[in-house]
Amino acid sequence: MEVIKDLYLLNSAVKKQWESFLQQHGIDNFNNAETKYLNQTVGLFDEHDQLVGTGSIAQNVMKYVAIEVHGEIHAGVRFNKIISALIQRLDQAQISHYFVFTKIKYVSSFKHIGFHCLAQVPQGALLESGFPTIKNYLAQLSQPNSEQQQVAAIVINANPFTKGHRYLIEKAAQENDLVYVIVVQQNASLFTTPQRLYLVRLGVQDLMNVKVIDGGEYTVSFATFPAYFLTSSDAVIDYQTRLDAQLFKNWFVPALQIKRRYLGTEPTSHTTRLYNDNLQAILQPEVEVLVVPRYQLADGQIVSAFQVRHYLVTQNLEQIARLVPATTFDFIKAHWAILQQRIQKGWHGNGN
Amino acid sequence: MEIKRIATAGTLESSDIQITIAPGNNGLQIELQSDVIKQFGAQIKQTIIDVLTNYGVQNAQIKAVDKGALDLVIKARAIAAVQRALEISEEPRWEVL
């Protein structure tokens, strides 16, 4: 009888065994940025107490799944045991909706146990299972009405909302019947998700044809695009940005009848540049991609949320006032103490 | 009865079925995955629907991944899942069991 046991990777002997098992099965990315987010790891052991399968959970994402196979019989049985164990642990942690990144060859195994494919690119695929599903998520968004033909979308993190975001949205609002502003949902940012959403809504409330929506777990989230938040190699960024773009094209575009996507250039961010390149390659020609040069102040100063965060760290309110609309500025002033506290608690000013 | 939370019961191992129940607003919607869906799909769904109906659940999204479970196993898993989803596991309803 093969049994599931918890693997405690803090124990270096256990970790070594786990790593060498994964390496034998073609997984060799043990970057600390990846492994330190693993919440739980399980191992499957055979009658001789040999490790024959493993899988891990990082928040709501299954990772590092590998199975030792001798003939076809074991494959399905062991795979299902591992995934069952992971689902059980997710359920205990009250996580009812989860994802997996996997190689193309395992897609059918996951589909066979109820996973749905969200996006697939040559390097791999992203699948989800549990509730609420992407269909549930999209169903609660309001659709364009019949008069709104030209529909555009902008995806922003808005950490925090700046004059640059405002400029991009205003431009899109003038050029389209309806603009969806999709705010990335991720609490890895200095400004929390509710705060970022609030500031975007406040900042565009005079634009009648703009709808601000929460991107849920489907746009640039820890699930779909961890490299946005973690330092990663170009190959990883390329893979994840493709998945993100493909997911947008597969699901958001048809559900909201999106015809255009607006992007801002980001001269200083390598990740954003790769992301923009892949968006153009994947979304076009079905979706027109418009790249709008970054907004600058009259004196040539570039406006970016990164700059704002920099001035928050250096406590320069005067400069912040130049970069953000009054709505954001008032918010920052009112929450100055708590933002400073967050910075002092070790929140570092980099990232996107 | 309204579904209070998303709940799961069962495993993906042979002869078992994993049933997940979530709130819904459009009757009882079942998504079933099974190797024997052609032969027994309707029967498996009916067993699950009967359990939920006995508990007075009218609206729910249900996902079932069947690995060849017998009818009594399907029933047991459906009961466990619905009791968790209704948050009544501590006070099971003996009259519907």
ipTM for the complex shown: 0.85
CATH number (domain holding residue A36): 3.40.630.30
Q: What is the pLDDT of residue A349?
A: 47
So what's the pLDDT on residue A317?
A: 93
Taking CA atoms, what residue in A is nearest to B18? A84
Please tell me the predicted confidence (pLDDT) of residue A347.
66
In a shared domain, residues A15 and A85 = yes
**Structural domain contains residue A351:** no
Residue B59 contacts A, CB cutoff 8 Å: no
One domain, residues A125 and A146? no
Q: Give per-residue burial for B57-92: e unless 16+ CB within 10 Å, then b.
A: beebbbbbbbbebeeebbbbbbbbbbbbbbeeeeee
Give the strand pairing for A116-121 and A124-130. Answer: antiparallel
Nearest to A114 among B5, B22, B65 (CB): B65
Confidence of residue B7 (pLDDT cuts 50, 70, 90): very high
Closest chain B C-alpha to A323 CA, distance in angstroms: 44
Is residue A214 domain-shared with residue A322, that is, in the same domain?
yes
Token pair listed for A109 = 């195994």
Cross-chain residue pair B12–A83, CB shorter than 8 Å: yes
From A239, A237, A244, A250, select the one nearest A263 (Cα to Cα). A244
Closest Cβ–Cβ partner in A84, A112, A129 for B11 = A84
Write down the pLDDT at residue A70: 78
Distance from CA of B45 to the nearest CA of A (A): 15
Cβ contact A91–B31 (<8 Å): no
Report pLDDT for A352.
Answer: 46
Residue A184 lies in a domain: yes
Q: Name the residue facing B8 among A83, A87, A132 (closest C-beta).
A: A87
pLDDT of residue A210: 97
| Chain A contact for B6 (CB, 8 A cutoff) | yes
Nearest to B33 among A88, A97, A113 (CB): A113
Query: Chain B within 8 Å of A131 (Cβ-Cβ)?
Result: yes
Structural domain for A279, as ranges: 142-344
Nearest CA in chain A to B14: A77
pLDDT tens track for B38-63:
999 999 999 999 999 999 999 999 99
In this prediction, residue A76 carries a pLDDT of: 84
**If you measure CA to CA, which chain A residue comes closest to B66?**
A113
Q: Report yes or no: B33 at the A interface, CB cutoff 8 Å.
A: yes
Q: Is any Cβ of chain A less than 8 angstroms from the Cβ of B24? A: no
pLDDT at A238: 86
Whether A226 is covered by a domain: the verdict is: yes
**Listed residues A131, A166, A186: the one ending a domain:** A131
In a domain, A300, yes or no: yes
β-bridge pairing A151-156 and A97-102: unpaired
Task: State both tokens at A78.
Answer: 């062991």
Distance CA A211, CA A220 (A): 19
Enter the tokens of residue A349.
């000013």
Let me know if residue A137 belongs to a domain: no
Of the candidates B5, B22, B65, the beta carbon closest to that of A113 is on B65
| Distances in whole angstroms, Cα of residue A90 to Cα of each of A56, A83, B64 | 10, 10, 17
pLDDT at B97: 64
Q: So what's the pLDDT on residue A35?
A: 81
CB spacing of A131 vs B13 below 8 angstroms: no
Query: What is the predicted pLDDT for the residue at A84?
Result: 94
pLDDT at A34: 74
Domain CATH code at residue A283: 3.40.50.620
Is the domain defined by B7-96 classed in CATH 3.90.850.10?
A: no
**Taken in order A281, A158, A229, A115, is the CA torsion positive or negative?**
negative
Could you tell me if residue A136 is inside a domain?
Answer: no
Q: Which residues, given as ranges, of chain A have pLDDT below 70?
A: 33, 72-74, 187-188, 221-232, 347-352
Confirm whether A126 is domain-assigned.
Answer: yes
Token pair of A90 as six digits: 């997710």
Decide the pairing of beta strands B60-66 and B17-23.
Answer: antiparallel
Using the Cβ of A140 and the Cβ atoms of chain B, whether some distance falls under 8 Å is answered with no
Clarify whether residues A86 and A174 are in a common domain.
Answer: no
Q: Are residues A112 and A240 in the same domain?
A: no
Q: How many domains does chain A have?
A: 2
| Same domain for A331 and A244 | yes
Q: Do A131 and B20 make contact, defined as CB atoms within 8 angstroms?
A: yes
